[in-house]
Amino acid sequence: MRLLLDTNTALSGLLWDGPPGRLIDLAIAQKVLLYSSTALLSELEGVIRRPKFAPKVQALGVSVGDLVLGYSSLVTIVIPAPISPTVLEDPDDDHVLAAAIEAKVDLIVSGDRHLLGLAGFQGCPIVDAGTALSRLGFEA
């Protein structure tokens, strides 16, 4: 199955245990395919570099660069498709949708209320990590 993890889901999966982390583990085990874009990877790096995440990164015993590099090695990079403005409350979320459409993913996985509120985009469901695991046949 092809997935695009929104930045918040990728961040959660890299830093904590739980459903987002299980999705990353499935990608490591080559049971799912992950897709992203250079802009989403850049956003991920910027968010992980926030001071509030420094203690967690340090506790993991890795650098921010190593985390981002490890994640980027799991994803296939796409150039987002052109789309009309969709998430008017948070236009940055349109980039997630555009990358997902270009990648032809089966699921967009997010914890973002704006994206989850759409429930889907151009036939692609938008779900949280627990729902994604259920749809993949795994317990959340």
CATH number, domain containing residue 9 = 3.40.50.1010
Task: Give the Cα separation of 96 and 88 in Å (integer).
Answer: 13
Residue 98 within a domain: yes
Domain of residue 18 covers: 2-135
Q: What is the pLDDT of residue 21?
A: 97
Residue 140 within a domain: no
Contacts of 8 (CB under 8 A, 6+ apart): 110, 111, 112
Along the chain (140 residues), what's the average pLDDT of each consecutive run of 10 residues?
A: 98 96 97 97 97 96 96 97 86 92 97 95 97 91
Nearest in space to 56 (alpha carbons), one of 110, 99, 108, 14: 14
| DSSP single-letter state for residue 51 | G
Q: What is the pLDDT of residue 139?
A: 80
Q: What is the pLDDT of residue 92?
A: 86
Residue that is written with structure tokens 């997902």 in the block: 100
Residue 37 within a domain: yes
64 C-beta neighbours (distance < 10 Å), count:
18
Give me the number of domains the chain comprises. Answer: 1
Q: What is the pLDDT of residue 1?
A: 96
Task: Give the Cα separation of 100 and 124 in Å (integer).
Answer: 8
Residue 12 within a domain: yes
CA 86 and chain centroid, separation: 19
